[in-house]
Structure 1
Amino acid sequence: MNVQPIKHSRNSQYFIPGPSVWPVSLCASIILFFIGAANWLHDRWFGPYLLYLGLLCILGAMCAWFTNVIRENKASNYNTQVGYSFRWGMTWFIFSEVLFFASFFGALFYTRVFSVPELSGAIRPLTHILLWPDFSGGWPLLHNPDNRQFLGANSVGNIWGIPALNTLLLLSSGVTLTIAHWGLCLKRRAVLIGGLFFTILLGATFLGCQASEYYAAYQQHGLTLNAGSYGSLFFLLTGFHGAHVTIGSTMLIVMLIRSIQGDFSPENHFAFSATAWYWHFVDVVWLMLFIFFYWI
C-alpha cells in the first residue's frame, strides 16, 4: 500500500494511507448479503447462494482490511494525530450504530404505545369498531388483528430462562474484557490473554443460547417472522444484535491473536480499545433489549 505523508503547518507529518478497495468491497458484500437474505425469505432458489456468497465476501474483505491496518501499525506509521483521528472515527461509527438501533427501538415503542392500543380501542374507539372490533390488544401480542392472515405465536419463552442467562453472560463478558484491559495496561500478559479468552468464550456461549432460543421459538412457541409485529420485532432486534455480537467476537479473536503475538503495549493499543468500546456498546444494547422487550 502506498503511503502519502502530508506536511502540516507545524512541520509534522501525518500518515495518510493510499487508496483502498476494501471499504467499497465491504459495502458491496453487505448489499449482496442482504439481497440474498431478502430473496431467501421470498423462497427464491438463488437467495441462499447469494447470502452465503455475500457472507464469504464480507469475511474476505474484513480479513484483508484488518491485515492492511495491522501492517501499517507495525510499520510505525502512526503518530498522535492519527490516534486522534482513529478515536474520532470509532466514536462516530458507534454513534451511527446507536442511531441504527434507535430506529428499531423506535419501531418497538411506536407499536406498543400507539399502534396496538389504537387498534384495540384504547385511544380511538371508532378505529377499533370500524376496523377490528374483535381485536383485544396486549403485549406480547399473541393474537393479531387478522389472526387468519398472520397467525400469532401460541406462547413466548420464559424471560428468566435463556434471556436472563444471556444477560448474565454479556454482563460477565464486559467484566472479563475490562480485566483484560487492566492486564494490558499493567503489562500482565497472562491476565490480558486470559481475559480475552473468557470474553470470547462468553460471547460464543451467548450466540449458542440465542440459537437455542430461536429453535424453541419456531418449534415450540410458533414465534416466526410471519407471526405479526411481535415476531417481526423479536427477530429484527435480537437478530441484528446477534449479528453485532458475532462481529464483536470476530474482532476479539483478532485481538487475542495479536495479544499472543505481543503486538500491544500500554502506550499503543488503540485496536484493543476500539474493540472494547464496540463490545461494551453491544452489552448496553442487549441490556436495553432485555428490559424493554423481554421484561417490561
Structure 2
Amino acid sequence: MKSLNIFYINKTHYKTEHSYHLVDPSPWPILGSFGGFCLTLGGVLFMHKYFGGLNLLLTGLTIICYTMYVWWRDIVREATFEDCHTITVQKGLRLGMLLFIISEIMFFFAFFWAFFNSSIAPVYNIGGVWPPKAISIISTYTVPLTNTFFLLSSGATVSWAHHAILGRNKGQTIVGLIFTLILAIWFTKLQIFEYVNAPFSISDGVYGSCFFLATGFHGFHVFIGTIALFISLIRVILNHFTNTHHFGFEAAIWYWHFVDVVWLFLFVNVYWWSNK
C-alpha cells in the first residue's frame, strides 16, 4: 500500500508540472486495428465470392463502429468532465486537425489531377474531345446548381452557429446547427437522386470514373461532416461546450468549410467547365 500511495502522490505532482495530457492506456487502438484488418480481408473475400467474406466484412465494420463510439466517448469525457484538454492540448488538437485537412486536400488533388490530365488533352481513344461524344452529361443548372445553393447556405448557417456559441447564445447555436443539418440532408438526397438518374455510370470510361470518384468521395465527406455536426448539436444541448472551450464543434466547422470549398471546385470544373 505504501508504494501505491507514493505512486498516486507522484502522479498528482507530475500532472502539475506541465500542461500536457498524458492519456491512460487504452484498448481501443488495437481493437480498431483488428476491426480494420477484418474489414479489409472480409471485403477482399466478399468481392472474390469466398464463403464467409460478407460475415467477416460486417464483423470488421461493427468492430470499427464500436471502437469509434467508445474512443470518442473517452475523449468527450476527458475534455468535458475531467478537464484534461488544457490550452496547450487544444493547440495540439488544432494543429492535428489542420494537418488532417491538408491530407484531405492532397486526397482530392489526386482526383482533380486525373480529371484535368484527361480533360485538357483528351486522347484519341475517347474521340479527342472532352467530354467524350458518347457521354450524355448532366446539366449544370439543375441538381448541381441547387446543391451548390444548399451547401453554401449551410456554410453560412454553421458560421452563424459558431458566432452564436462565441457570444454565449445557446439558442441561436442550436437553431444554426439545425438549419445546417437540414441543408446537408437535402444536399445528400439530391446527390443520390442525381446518381440514380445519371445517364452514365462509373464504368463509362475515364469521364464516368473521374465524375463518380470525385463527387462520390465528396458526398461521403458530406455524410461524415453531417454526423460530426449532429454530434456537436447533441453536445451543445447537453452543455458540453463553453464559448472558450468547444474545439470538438470547431473541428466539425473547419471540416464543413473544407467540404464547401471542395464542392466549389467540383461544381466549377466537373459540372460547369466540362459542359462548355
Q: Does 1:91 align with 2:91?
A: no
Whether 2:109 is the aligned partner of 1:102: answer yes
Q: Name 2:151's counterpart in structure 1.
A: 170
Cα distance between partner residues in 2 of 1:36 and 1:232: 25
The answer as to whether partners of 1:108 and 1:233 remain within 8 angstroms in 2 is: yes
Which residue among 122, 127, 131 is the counterpart of 1:136?
A: 127
Unaligned stretches of 5+ in structure 2? 1-10
Q: How far did residue 292 of structure 1 move?
A: 0.9
1:76 alignment partner in structure 2? 83
Say if 2:19 and 2:88, in contact at 8 Å, map to a contact too: no
1:196 to 177, 182, 188: 177
Q: Mean alpha-carbon deviation: is it higher for 161-170 or for 46-55? A: 46-55
Identify the match of residue 254 of structure 2 among 259, 274, 277: 277
Counterpart amino acid of 1:68?
Answer: D
Q: How does 1:146-185 map to 2 (within 5 A)?
A: 153=135, 155-185=136-166
Q: TM-score, normalised by structure 1?
A: 0.79
SS at match of 1:241: helix
Greater relative CO, 1 or 2 (CA 8 Å, sep 6+)? 2
Output one character per residue of 1:108-134: Cα deviation in whole Å (capped at 9) or x when no partner: 1111123x1xx23xxxxxxxxxxx5xx
Change (3 A) 1:49 1:283: farther
One-letter amino acid of the counterpart of residue 205, structure 1: W
For the 8 Å contact 1:5–1:15, the answer to whether it is kept is: no
SS at match of 2:120: helix
For 2:67, which of 55, 61, 66 is the aligned residue? 61
CA shift in 2, pair 1:105/1:179, >3 Å = same
Which residue is equivalent to 2:6?
Answer: none
Identity %: 37
Alignment gaps of 5+ in structure 1: 121-131, 144-152
Alpha-carbon spacing, 1:214–1:56, altered in 2? closer, same or farther (3 Å): farther
Counterpart Cα distance in 2 of 1:83 and 1:238: 33
CA deviation profile, 1:186-234 (whole Å, cap 9, x unmatched): 11111000111111111111111111111001xxx1x112111111111
Measured in 1, the distance between the counterparts of 2:131 and 2:51 equals 34
Q: Is 1:256 aligned to 2:262, yes or no?
A: no
Change (3 A) 1:54 1:164: farther
Query: Of Structure 1 and Structure 2, which has the larger fraction of its residues in helix?
Result: 2
When normalised by structure 2's length, the TM-score is: 0.85
Paired AA for residue 98 in structure 1: I
**CA displacement 1:110-169 (0-9 Å, x = unmatched):** 11123x1xx23xxxxxxxxxxx5xx522222243xxxxxxxxx4x122211111111111
Which moves more between the two structures, 91-100 or 59-68? Answer: 59-68
